[in-house]
C-alpha cells in the first residue's frame, strides 16, 4: 500500500461517509425522505412512511458501501479501484434515480393528487450538477495520483549521494552502495513479485516496496517491461532497481553511477 493508494482510499471513504450520513438520516426520519434537493415528499403521498424511509436508507447505504469498496480495492490495485469508482459514479447515479423511482412508486398513495410528484421536481438539475461536480473532483484526484505515479523518477547523482526524486523517492549515500550492475533484462523477467507498499497503475510503472521470491525485498523505480534495468545493491538495506521508458536514459544513468563510484 502506497501513499497514492492511501489518498485514493481516503477520498472514497469521505464520499462513502457522506452517503452513509444520508442513509442514517433516512432511517431516523419520521417524515418521508426526499431524493431531489429542495423537494418535499408530503406524508399524505406515502402509504407506509417507515418502510419507505427504510428502503431509501438501504439504497443510500448500498451506494456508500460501493464507494468504500472502491477504496479498499484501490489499496491493492489503484487502477481496479478507479474503474470500480467510475462505475459507481457514472452509471451508478442513473441506477440511484431508477431505484428511487421504484421505491416512490411502490409506496405512493394512489389517491394522492395534490401538488407535484418529486420525480419531476424542478430542482432535480441541481442534484445532477452536484453529482457531476463530485464525480469530476473524484476523477481529478484519481488522475493526479496516476500522473504522479507514472511520472519517471528524477535521479541526481552527486559526489556523496544519489538522490531519487518523486513517489517513494529517497537519498542514497554512496557509502552504503556495494555495487551497481546493469541487467540486460526487464523487471518483469527479473521478478517483480508482490507489492507490499508501492504503486502499480494502469501502465507498466512500478514504484515502491515489493517482495519477490527471486529478488527478495526490493525498492523499485522501473518500467516493468523495459530493458535494461539498473540494480543497486546496498549494505543491510533493500536492493534498488531502476529503469526508464527510454533504454538509452537507463544506460546513461548507469554510466554516471559507475563513474561517481570510481
Spell out the per-residue pLDDT of the chain, length 262, in tens: 555 677 778 888 888 888 899 899 999 988 898 876 656 788 888 899 999 999 999 999 999 999 899 888 887 777 777 788 878 877 887 888 899 989 999 998 888 775 545 544 444 455 556 666 666 666 676 677 777 777 888 999 998 899 998 888 899 999 899 999 999 999 999 999 888 888 776 678 898 899 998 889 999 999 999 999 999 999 889 999 999 999 999 999 999 998 887 6
CA 38 to chain CA centroid, Å, is: 32
What are φ and ψ of residue 64, in 5° steps? -65, -40
Question: Model pTM?
Answer: 0.58
DSSP state of 44: G
At which residue does the C-alpha cell 405512493 appear? 108
The three three-digit cell numbers of residue 47, written as one number: 402509504
Helix (H), strand (E) at residue 130? helix 124-150
One domain for residues 36 and 164: no
Domain boundary among 135, 150, 165: 150
Q: Are 163 and 156 in contact (CB under 8 A)?
A: yes
What letters, b where the CB count within 10 A reaches 16 and e where it falls short, cover 87-99? ebbeebbeebbeb
Residue finishing a domain among 117, 150, 183: 150
Measured CA to CA in angstroms, residue 86 lies from 18, 124, 136, 140, 194 at distances of 17, 22, 10, 12, 26
What is residue 203's predicted lDDT score, i.e. its pLDDT? 74
Same domain, 140 and 195: no
Element (H, E) at 173: strand 170-173
Predicted local confidence at residue 4, as pLDDT? 65
pLDDT of 121: 44
> What is the predicted pLDDT for the residue at 129?
60
Same domain for 158 and 254, yes or no, is: yes
Indicate if 95 and 11 belong to the same structural domain.
yes
Q: Are residues 15 and 141 in the same domain?
A: yes
Instruction: Provide the strand spans (E) within the chain.
Output: 154-157, 161-165, 170-173, 177-183, 194-200, 205-212, 216-223, 229-234, 239-242
Q: What is the pLDDT of residue 82?
A: 77
Give pLDDT, residue 197. 81
What is the tally of structural domains in the chain? 2
| The C-alpha cell that represents 90 in the structure block | 457514472
Name the residue among 30, 33, 23, 80 with its Cα closest to residue 57: 23
Residues 34 and 123 in one domain: yes
Shared-domain flag, residues 100 and 158? no
Q: Which range of residues forms the domain containing residue 182?
A: 154-260
| pLDDT confidence of residue 37 | 61
- 195 plus 70 within the same structural domain: no
- The gap between the terminal CA atoms of the chain, to the nearest Å, is 37
Query: Closest Cα to residue 149, out of 6, 250, 254?
Result: 6
* Statement to judge: residues 137 and 8 lie in one domain: yes
| Residue 110, helix vs strand vs coil | coil
Amino acid at each position: 500500500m502506497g501513499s497514492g493508494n492511501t489518498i485514493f482510499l481516503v477520498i472514497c471513504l469521505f464520499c462513502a461517509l457522506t452517503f452513509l450520513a444520508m442513509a442514517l438520516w433516512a432511517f431516523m426520519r419520521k417524515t418521508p425522505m426526499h431524493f431531489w434537493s429542495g423537494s418535499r415528499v408530503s406524508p399524505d403521498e406515502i402509504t407506509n412512511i417507515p418502510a419507505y424511509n427504510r428502503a431509501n436508507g438501504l439504497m443510500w447505504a448500498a451506494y456508500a458501501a460501493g464507494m468504500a469498496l472502491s477504496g479498499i480495492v484501490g489499496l491493492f490495485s489503484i487502477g481496479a479501484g478507479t474503474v470500480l469508482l467510475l462505475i459507481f459514479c457514472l452509471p451508478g447515479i442513473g441506477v440511484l434515480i431508477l431505484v428511487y423511482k421504484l421505491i416512490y412508486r411502490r409506496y405512493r398513495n394512489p389517491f394522492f393528487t395534490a401538488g407535484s410528484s418529486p420525480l419531476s421536481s424542478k430542482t432535480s438539475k441541481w442534484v445532477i450538477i452536484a453529482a457531476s461536480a463530485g464525480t469530476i473532483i473524484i476523477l481529478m484526484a484519481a488522475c493526479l495520483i496516476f500522473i504522479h505515479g507514472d511520472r519517471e523518477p528524477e535521479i541526481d547523482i552527486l559526489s556523496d549521494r544519489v538522490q531519487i526524486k518523486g513517489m517513494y523517492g529517497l537519498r542514497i549515500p554512496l557509502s552504503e552502495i556495494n555495487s551497481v550492475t546493469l541487467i540486460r533484462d526487464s523487471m518483469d523477467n527479473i521478478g517483480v513479485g508482490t507489492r507490499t507498499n508501492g504503486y502499480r497503475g494502469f501502465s507498466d510503472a512500478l514504484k515502491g516496496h515489493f517482495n519477490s521470491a527471486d529478488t527478495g525485498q526490493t525498492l523499485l523505480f522501473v518500467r516493468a517491461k523495459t530493458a535494461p534495468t539498473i540494480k543497486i545493491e546496498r549494505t543491510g538495506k533493500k536492493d534498488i532497481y531502476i529503469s526508464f521508458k527510454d533504454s538509452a536514459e537507463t544506460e546513461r544513468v548507469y554510466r554516471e553511477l559507475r563513474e561517481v563510484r570510481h
